[in-house]
A = this chain, B = another copy of it.
Amino acid sequence: MRSDLWQNGFKKTKQREAVFAVLSNADKPLTAMEICTGAEMCGKGLWLSTVYRVLDLFVQKGIAQRNVLAGGDVATYEINKNEHRHYVVCTACRKVFALEKCPLPKTVHLENFCITGHRLEIYGYCEGCYAKK
């Protein structure tokens, strides 16, 4: 775990560590609910509203990123690795796969706009769902 994590002026708590741990071990973006049920809180419960608060903090501090995948209606969160990640979503079964590298050229530039990031999602049918058609 990053040792500088808790030195940005905010307190180290079990809840925050738990949320961070779940996000760190995930290979895809997770919903607040998934984080809540997936968290190991040494036997004690972790409240959903706390998860949201922790996530808000992480997003604000740049530790995590929030987004809503295509067609979905719940937000998902992931650790903000500096190399950005993109996902492939099956519109039939809603499974999510990570893309290894960003297919976007590095040269993108815009007039009168300061680009800080981008979001790319590819959607379609995964092998299994395609077969079913």
Contact = CB atoms under 8 A, between A and B. Distances in A.
Nearest to A120: B120
Contacts of A122: 108, 110, 113, 115, 117-118
B123 A116 contact: yes
B116 A125 contact: yes
Task: Please give the count of copies of this chain that the complex contains.
Answer: 2
B66 A67 contact: no
Given A73-B75, A108-B103, A130-B114, A120 B119 contact: yes
A124 interface: yes
A91 B116 contact: yes
A113 B126 contact: yes
Nearest to A89: B119
